[in-house]
């Protein structure tokens, strides 16, 4: 398991196939379902497929992806954050999600700031974007506090949702 970066309270590391129980828990949490959407990852096999075709494939192909967020003091797996390159967006975008019990503690702010620095300093990505649903006020505040600005409204790839596009 490769560590990507550390902050004062958090460790960001690559997911492995040993993280399937956590993936099932996170992807079926209320916040994930409401603001990201149901990915239909309910079983160990589906979690292996999600990790293999998502984060782990991105690490191999792009050198970045969605990473596991772990709290240093407890070594608890608390969320996911990282960089995704979506075909429908010009720039790579930053994403984050945390288990409900770890929301509102500043972890999202801390890891997002660190990833933005990492993207510029280590990955040489000059600009990151972010997308969010218009009613996801917590994410909007977090993005704005990290220096991102609303650019425009866009449609999701399926065209069934309106999203807000933010960029640095």
pLDDT for residue 78: 98
Q: Which of 76, 61, 62 is nearest to 13 (CA)?
A: 76
pLDDT for residue 159: 77
Question: What distance in Å separates the CA atoms of residue 146 and residue 4, rounded to the nearest whole number?
Answer: 20
Question: What distance in Å separates the CA atoms of residue 13 and residue 88, rounded to the nearest whole number?
Answer: 26
pLDDT for residue 160: 84
pTM greater than the 0.85 cutoff: yes
CATH topology of domain 3-125: Aminopeptidase (3.40.630)
- Domain boundaries of the chain, sorted by first residue: 3-125
Query: Which residues of the chain are modeled with pLDDT < 50?
Result: none
| Phi, psi dihedral angles at 101 (to 5 degrees) | -65, -15
Q: Which of 114, 111, 56, 58 is nearest to 87 (CA)?
A: 58
Question: What distance in Å separates the CA atoms of residue 87 and residue 92, rounded to the nearest whole number?
Answer: 9
Digit-coded pLDDT (tens) for 93-130: 999 999 999 999 999 999 999 999 999 999 999 999 99
């Amino acid at each position: 398991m490769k560590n990507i970066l550390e902050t004062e309270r958090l460790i960001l590391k690559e997911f492995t196939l040993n993280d399937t129980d956590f993936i099932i828990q996170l992807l079926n949490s209320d916040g994930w379902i409401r603001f990201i959407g149901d990915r239909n990852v309910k079983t160990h096999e589906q979690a292996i497929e999600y990790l293999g075709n998502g984060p782990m494939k991105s690490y191999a192909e792009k050198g970045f992806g969605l990473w596991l967020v772990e709290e240093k003091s407890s070594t608890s797996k608390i969320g996911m954050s990282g960089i995704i390159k979506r075909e429908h967006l010009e720039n790579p975008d930053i994403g984050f999600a945390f288990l409900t019990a770890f929301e509102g503690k500043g972890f999202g702010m801390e890891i997002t700031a660190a990833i933005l620095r990492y993207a510029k300093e280590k990955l040489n990505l000059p600009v990151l974007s972010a997308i969010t649903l218009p009613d996801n006020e917590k994410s909007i505040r977090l993005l704005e506090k990290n220096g991102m600005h609303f650019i425009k409204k866009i449609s999701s790839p399926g065209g069934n949702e309106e999203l807000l596009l933010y960029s640095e």
